[in-house]
Amino acid sequence: MYDIIVIGGGAAGLTVAAGASSLGAKVALVEKSKLLGGDCLHFGCVPSKALISIANQVAEARKTTKFGMDVSGDINVEKVMEQVQSSIRTIQEHDDPDRFEKLGVDVLFGAASFITSTKIKVGESKTIEGKRVVVATGSSPFIPPIEGLKDIHYWTNETVFTMKQLPKRLLVIGGGAIGMELSQAFARLGSEVTLVERGKTLGKTGDKELVGKVTELLEREMTVFTSTDVEKISTTNEGKIIALRDQTTTFTLEVDEIIVAAGRKPNTRELNLDGVGVKVDERGHILIDRYGRSSIPTIFGIGDVNGQYGFTHAAGMEGKAVVQTAVLGIPSKLSYESFPWITFTDPEWFQMGLTEESAVQRFGKENINIYKSSLDEVDRFIAEHRTEGIVKMITKKDGTIIGAHALGVGAGDWMQTVVYAVQKKQKIGSLSRMIYPYPNRAGAVQKTSDLYWREKLFNGPFTKITKKYIQWFR
């Protein structure tokens, strides 16, 4: 009898397995594939960021022509993908099964399914039993029911990183984070990219002002269609014919290859969750309470399977909380109040908390303050000639930060200061009082937070008081 059975060897599952074992629990880790690390390592975060880095290097090299240098030639995409795979192999060493075996975890490879709420079938014949089970099986690409799609070759994030030849004309279906990142990367490598999103905007949950700026920047490098459906795909000797429909017309375009990035679906179908009474939503996400517990209290759902936030750092956070709840019996809430995420376009797009629109809806426009700075006001970005971007902070009237958004080079790094402030219950004024080495990019945070004190000092009664005091003081 195991204390904890973990199903899924991605970020969430590995966090639970290592944490529970270190506390002295008897742990089994079950993984369907032959490799640990999950989608993030093999098909998601790691390879995409490796590809983005290479693409950005190519883009920067091409910019050197304005300094008189000669840059020419086509990209060898096989060499690009070999470097991507090298990154995966290096990080894979951290997720080697032997490491977890040495921690005391029993690592079992094979498909898992529930027999009862405590018994798990692994592979064809093995059965294991545990007091508690953590489901962390991740997600996989959702393939939309587009006429003709199943009959042609297309890539998803699970297959694109084995590409052998760079397509001249590329269609990307889906304007979420994966779609935007891959679109820009391939555009910079040399493909003519068309990005199609059926929703009204790219990054549809984002702050409207920043969504507009991100879209504007991407449109400089590719063609972007929003509010547009892909209705049908057919093939000719010259390529793939795509029938598109926007709000008013139907039109076609011709491409060589397609990447499908139309969302994710939870990997729960084969687990027999219904058979043991675990409730799921219409898409198959496990319904959880604020402690990560499913409708069966001894079964937990963390990571992509619960449909909360489909990010590796969310899975890790949830895993840490569930270790405390499941192993020690001390309930630890899953909190997303200060949860940040980044879309790794160039420049990066950082998001945390409420957007301006959602803050107005929740609190009323008269009860919030908006503080904004453009990066063309920050000396470091001016020096680098990378002034495309903005910092936007949303607060309550007392300075409590309820939303923070930024677009800028390295924004995912320098906005971490704001994440820390929110987690420590610090208000926007405390960010202004910090000392920022000059000139660094985090000066954008300083510039924005300074606006809080400027408003307090110059629009309030304080200036009148100090003026009288100065007149009196000799």
Q: If you average pLDDT over residues 269-296, what whole number do you get?
A: 97
- Using a pLDDT cut of 70, give the percent of the chain over it: 96
- 289 annotated as ligand-binding: no
Reported as a single tens digit per residue, the pLDDT across 55-106 is 999 999 998 888 888 888 888 999 999 999 999 999 888 788 999 999 999 9
- 91 annotated as ligand-binding: no
- Structure-token pair, residue 40: 């993030």
| Predicted pLDDT of residue 464 | 63
- Structure-token pair, residue 80: 């690009």
Contact status, residue 50 vs residue 83, Cβ threshold 8 Å: yes
- 263 annotated as ligand-binding: yes
**Residue 261 in this model has a pLDDT that exceeds 90:** yes
- 24 annotated as ligand-binding: no
Contact status, residue 341 vs residue 210, Cβ threshold 8 Å: no
- 178 annotated as ligand-binding: yes
- 175 annotated as ligand-binding: yes
- 345 annotated as ligand-binding: no
**Residue 350 in this model has a pLDDT that exceeds 80:** yes
| Predicted pLDDT of residue 459 | 64
pTM: 0.94
* Confidence band, pLDDT 50/70/90 cuts, at residue 461: low
- 176 annotated as ligand-binding: yes
Q: What angle is formed at CA 259 by the lines to CA 254 and CA 262, rounded to 5 degrees?
A: 115
**Residue 466 in this model has a pLDDT that exceeds 80:** no
Structural domains in the chain, sorted by start: 2-36+96-140+265-328 (3.50.50.60), 149-262 (3.50.50.60), 340-459 (3.30.390.30)
How many angstroms separate the Cα of 19 from the Cα of each of 12, 34, 79, 104?
A: 11, 22, 38, 11
**Residue 375 in this model has a pLDDT that exceeds 90:** yes
- 197 annotated as ligand-binding: yes
Reported as a single tens digit per residue, the pLDDT across 383-412 is 999 999 999 999 999 999 999 999 999 999
